Amino acid sequence: MRTQVAIIGAGPAGLLLSQLLHLSGIESVVLEARSRQHVEGRIRAGILEPSTVALLREAGAHARLDREGLRHDGIEIAVEGERHRIPLSELTGGRCVTAYGQTKVVQDLIARRLADGGDIRFETAALGVAEIESDRPKVVFEADGRAQELACDFIAGCDGFHGIARSGIPEAIRQVRERLYPFAWLGVLVEASPVGAELVYARHSRGFALFSLRSPSLARNYIQCRPDEDLARWPDERIFEEMRRRLEDPEGQLVHSGRVLDKSLTPMRSFVIEPMQHGRLYLAGDAAHIVTPTGAKGLNLAAADVRLLSQALIEFYRRGATALLESYSTRALDRVWKAQRFSWWMTSMLHNSPDESSFEARLHRAELDYLLASRAAMTSLAENYVGLPF
């Protein structure tokens, strides 16, 4: 079995890469260990930068996004119940973000790929990569109960943090930069009207909270908790009560109860592997980096990786040029580290950390006070939040 580009993982990165290559006449096969139902049902982030929206339009996976995506021209930051608005569009020359769940992004990309005759093999687990330093690398995968091989020109590892592609980077050159945070997010997807028309980031003495939305009748909310939190100790009403406390909304006028559709625990982790390529293997998305979700950068970083990698592969197949392929990791990591810095900064400023000193806690509060009083500081946040240009 052979293709031009073997793609491991049918998440947003792998699917978007496959579609962009298809539009340039480049063949690919996508191998995905999970079922289509599982992949299309995963609840993930939902804030898209304008560059990501433009890339989805380029891929032809934008029809529902254009109908249902919710434009956000600002965000709010609440400090002990007092809310302050940061006008993103006003501060960035009209750029904004769009609320549109990653679940829908994946569904749209799968539908587009299949409509265009794409080869996506669900329930087909990649077992490893081989011969990546040659011009005929291969992916070993399991299908029909036996190991098989997919030969190709290039391998794109888009299989997430727990995937196997990253192991193809030799230990001798692999550098892992990582930070674990002493808190997590408890998240709920709720059938209820959201707090407002824009996201609200709340810093409170009881801990951080985030109030976001997926639609006018669907809210996605988070509260800071311990990383080892037992979800069984958090019945729905306790979660709603804690949200109201952190938004200083005891009467429930802003935080509305509703049917909980999903409840999950998200650990806070920052992770980067360097380099993001070796031989004919290229990593993209969560396979190469994880950011804390505070800055809404995860899916957008994956899209940025895919844009660079697709351009490099297209250049190779059109002209035989390798300069973009050779510089892929360097160019991708430049954006990755800027996003890591922003996400770390947002996380540190808005969360109460159990291991920080009283001095550090006061510094974070001073940083927040400065942000909310300075147009220059708000502009810096807005520029990073809507996304640095591709």
Give the active site residues.
72, 201, 293, 297, 385
Closest to 57 measured CA to CA, from 69, 66, 44: 66
Between CA 371 and CA 248 the distance in angstroms is: 21
CB 212 within 8 A of CB 197: no
Angle formed by the axes of helices 298-319 and 328-350, nearest 10°: 170
